[in-house]
Amino acid sequence: MNFYNIIVKLNLKKYKKSYLSLFIVIILACTFTLSITIFNDSLIKTEEQQRKDIYGSWHIAVYNSDNSLYKDLRNHGTIKSIGKMTVYGSVLGPDNIAAGAIGSADDNMYRMGLELLDGRFPAKDNEIAVEMSYLSMLGYSYELGQSIQLKIQSYDKEGKQVKEIEKTYILSGVLKNYSTIWKTEGNQLVSFFVTDTSLPVLPLFENVFGILDKRYMKNADELVMLTLNRGNFIKNDYTYYEYTSENKSGREAFLSELLLVLVVTITSVFFIFNMLFISLKEHNKSFVVMRCLGASKYQISVLYLKELIIVLLAAFAAGIVFGLLVAFSGYNLMCFYMEEKFIFYIDITKLILLISVIIGIVFLFAILSVVRIGKMPLTGNIKLQSENKLYFKRGRKLKPLTIRRMVRIFNSAHRKETVVYFLLIFGTFLVLVSSFYGSYEKYKYYISIKNIYTEDYEYGIMSSYYEPKTHMEESEVEKIRNIYGIDYVRAYRCSNYLPITWSGMEESEYAKYLKDNFFARYAGNASVNATVYGISDDERDYKFYLDEIDKGKVSADEFLKENEVILYLPTFYKTQDNRMISSVNSTYSIYDPDQKAISENTIRIGDEIKIRGDRGEITIKVGGIIDNFENLNSQSILVKPYSIICNNNLYDKLIDNNVRTFEYLQIYANKNANYERTDVEISKINDKSYIQNRRIKKEDAKYNALINTVISLMISLIIIIITILIQYNNFLTKVESDYRRNHVLFLLGMNKWRIIILYLYNVLKNNIIAIILGFLAIYLYQAIMDINDFSNLLKSDGILNFWSYIFNLYFATLPWNFIGIVTISYLALNLFIAFYPLSKYRKLGE
């Protein structure tokens, strides 16, 4: 007769209830770990795939190049695969203006993000595949097999037209729009795809696209040398965020994936540890009895391990299956409701590693608890031996028992449970806040993008300290105004830096500092310079600036009559190492108490300023001063100090242009127009600098915010279910002993309500301490993420300064209302769970 089997069987039956909880907790922990990891991986993969679909999967491109470069790159060690796109000429549109490039692409190119809506890429010389928007523009439907008549112009290297060919093709495929979306920086992509041999002309140029070997992805810049003077080298930072300095992903910013997994793993393990601890406590008494009846330590250990292994293995198996199932059905649900393409991605090695770590740690705990069995004393009061000891700690001074003291005593008597309970709240809080914070960041990013880029297309970089580099002639701007789908164009004229003087200039500290630190660098001279912005007479263009005036007042009449101008004087901050930081681009620095704010106070309303423009010196009158824009949007991103905002007539008096040019454009599209057609038309505006598409950027951000919110909600749901379950279990096991204790208190004359208060106070106290710890952890994480700021600070002097900086930095930037909501809901949830035993307390004495 096998003793083990009998006892194990009996024990499994006996501890059915607690093992069931252990079972459920492990299943949930596995589900939790697996589904979060899978979701997170899938999300990252989906986002990346989505970007690859939109912006192409290539890492680097060399536009406007030739075949020799293609060959050089193909043999380069860092390149994994390479594709090329050959341009032969332009297709003429209905008005005989070049509409789009015609050319060929190789098979590799087709796989880098050129997606067909219908049909296939050309295989024969008379076949053609065309981007959908170009088909519409030429007046064709998307029907395959129809004949397409094209007028094609070909040029020589100098751009001189050499040939005009008329040719009829059969439509073999329709491509989704890509040429207006990929990162080209104004270079041309092919919109009409034919075979290499279809046209009797020499190639004009080749665009070469490369996918790098994973190991060399970071070294993309090394290829710059190779491509120098052989084309325009571009890194695809639209698809690969590794190539941008901008931090685009909120989730990445706040909680790196590793940390997420770590937090999840640790919380799960503690859940399980908690259950094991309870299980061992339950077993303790019968194990002692068995030891007295002659069971050896070894026997008991084997017995307990056998029990645990059966339960744990079964639970882990079920948990893994269940976890995959939940992740998979969650994925399907998401696909179903969001009608978006998601990628279900499982990183097998990572999951196996993760699960083995969890199983390993759990079994380590199991073995540790078995070791404890060996240390059990066999004599004395078998019941609750360890618990009683703590109550009679010697040396405790006799003081009246307040509720606070009682809570302390009870907590120290149940120190282990209290620690586990802490960790539970702490871990779940961390996961909750961080997952929500991830979504919050994405949402914030979306909102900021939406606010700042109110326009759909943008020309020129207004938020730059350098002199404008882009100039568009008035006729081109007129063309844009007439493009299909364009509602409205806001066109700015902007001067270079122009020297100015005014009567109080010598006394101006602001001017002095800017002269040395700002203008010397950006204007190339050490005098005080203004930048003049010419604004049109359209109310939509100038009204914003009139409303933003902080000092003085300029009426529309005065502004239009070129009587008065508006002066923008942003506050600057002088850092310890004598650098100047503008309040515009450094939100953090404001909080450093040691930074000295410097503002211009020698110019007052009504003062006159002399500007030396192209046509000699002109005197203008300051009607209003803006020192800070209240509303952040496309119009408020002009950043240069001494910016003068005036109307176009005044501007004309200052600047000598044979041809009127505009330096910045903000282009608004009609919400009801076919966006894609507008995209194409806009991209045809020929200019040295290209027009940036903000609409796609906005949509991208919106999509990311949405997915992140869904994921956060799912994570929170799982967390909340787990918390409720564990807490409930905790209370179930504790409620008996608590009840006994409270009953005694009750018999000794303690009021029922005081007992309830005692209990609630205990729950709340533990919760609040755990949450504070959670905050500290989040805070620390943020600080570590900003290690750069940290090391800079450590270089500067004074620990006091350091802490005040840290305090201001994080407490001022954390979204307190958001954190408040999450925290309060979490506390409420915990209290709600805690109400279960309360119902029992109310029956005290009945």
Partner 1 sequence: MKLLNIENVGKTFGKGSGLITALEGVNLSIEKGSFTTIIGRSGSGKSTLLNIAGGLLPPDRGKVFLEDIDLYGLKDNALSRLRRKRIGIVFQAFNLIPEFTVIENICLPSYLDQSKPNLKFIDEILELIEMSDKKGKYPYELSGGEQQRTALARALSTKPDLLLADEPTGNLDLKSGEQVLDAIQYCYHIFNQTTLLVTHNLEISRQSKRVITLQDGKIVSDSIGEMI
> Which parts of this chain interact with partner 1 (CB under 8 A)?
1-3, 6-7, 10, 13-14, 286, 289-299, 377-379, 382-383, 394
Nearer to partner 1, 295 or 361 (CB): 295
What separation in angstroms does the CA of 585 have from each of 36, 254, 640, 741? 36, 21, 11, 61
Amino acid at 202: L
Cα–Cα distance measured from residue 572 to residue 579, given in angstroms and rounded to the nearest whole number = 10
Q: Positive or negative, the Cα torsion across 211, 215, 219, 223?
A: negative
Query: How many CB atoms lie under 10 A from the CB of residue 544?
Result: 18
CA–CA distance, 32 with 713 (Å, rounded to integer): 13
Residues paired with residue 211 on neighbouring β-strands, in sequence order: 81
C-alpha–C-alpha distance, residues 727 and 732, integer Å: 8
**How near is the Cβ of 273 to partner 1 at its closest, in Å?**
25
- Exposed / middle / buried, residue 398 (Cβ in 10 Å: 0-12, 13-18, 19+): exposed
Residue 299 or 501 having the CB closest to partner 1 = 299
- Asked if residue 491 lies in contact with residue 477, where contact means CB atoms within 8 angstroms, the answer is yes
Paired with 645 in beta bridges are: 533, 566
Q: Which residues of 289-327 are buried (b: 16+ CB within 10 A; e: fewer)?
A: ebbeeebeeeebbebbbbbbeebbeebbebbbebbbebb
Nearest approach, Cβ of residue 405 and partner 1 (Å): 24
| SS3 of residue 535 by DSSP | strand
Give the integer Cα–Cα distance in Å for 736 and 386: 17
The encoded tokens of residue 255 equal 């909680």
CA distance 598 to 572: 5
Question: DSSP letters of 202-214?
Answer: ---EEEEEEEE-G
Task: Answer left, alpha or beta for residue 562, where phi above 0 means left and psi between -120 and 50 means alpha.
Answer: left
- Please state the closest distance from residue 711 (CB atom) to partner 1, in A: 44
Instruction: Give every CB contact of residue 481 below 8 A, 6+ residues apart in sequence.
Output: 489
In the complex, what is the shortest distance from the CB of residue 373 to partner 1, in angstroms, rounded to a whole number?
12
Nearer to partner 1, 34 or 288 (CB): 288
Between 4 and 803, name the residue whose CB sits nearer to partner 1.
4
298 or 336: CB nearest partner 1: 298
Of residues 16 and 615, the one with the C-beta less far from partner 1: 16
For residue 359, the surrounding DSSP H or E stretch is helix 348-374
**Degrees (nearest 5) of the Cα angle 720, 724, 726?**
115
Nearer to partner 1, 288 or 598 (CB): 288
Q: Letter for the amino acid at 466?
A: Y
Q: How far is the CB of 306 from partner 1 (least distance, A)?
A: 14
Shortest distance, position 6 Cβ to partner 1, whole Å = 6
What sign does the dihedral 447-450-451-453 (CA atoms) show? positive
Closer to partner 1 at the Cβ: 12 or 217? 12
CB of 1 or CB of 348, closer to partner 1? 1
Which secondary-structure segment (H or E) carries 647?
strand 643-647
Neighbour tally for 737: CB within 10 Å: 13
Report the residue number, 293 or 799, with the smaller CB distance to partner 1.
293
Residue closer to partner 1 by CB (options 258, 293) is 293
In one-letter notation, the amino acid at residue 356 is S
Q: Cβ 303 to partner 1, closest distance in Å?
A: 9
Output 9 or 408, the one with its CB closest to partner 1. Answer: 9
Q: CB of 311: closest distance to partner 1 in angstroms?
A: 16
In terms of CB distance, is 394 or 671 closer to partner 1? Answer: 394
Q: How far is the CB of 836 from partner 1 (least distance, A)?
A: 25
Q: Which of 53, 107, 59 is nearest to 80 (CA)?
A: 59
Check: CB of residue 564 under 8 Å from CB of residue 605: no
How many Å apart are CA 840 and CA 738, to the nearest integer? 10
In angstroms, rounded to a whole number, what is the distance separating the alpha carbons of residues 160 and 214?
A: 42
Task: Give me the least distance between CB of 293 and partner 1, in Å please.
Answer: 5
Closest distance of CB 330 from partner 1, Å:
39
Q: How far, in Å, CA of 681 to CA of 411, rounded?
A: 72
Min separation Cβ 416 and partner 1, Å:
23
Bridge partners (DSSP) listed for residue 85: 105, 207
Residue (of 629, 626, 569, 644) closest to 602 by Cα position = 569
Give least dist CB 738 to partner 1, A.
21
CB of 285 to partner 1, least distance (A): 8
Task: Estimate to the nearest angstrom the gap between the alpha carbon of 56 and the chain centroid.
Answer: 21
- 382 or 580: CB nearest partner 1: 382
Report the residue number, 183 or 291, with the smaller CB distance to partner 1: 291
Q: In the complex, what is the shortest distance from the CB of residue 292 to partner 1, in angstroms, rounded to a whole number?
A: 6
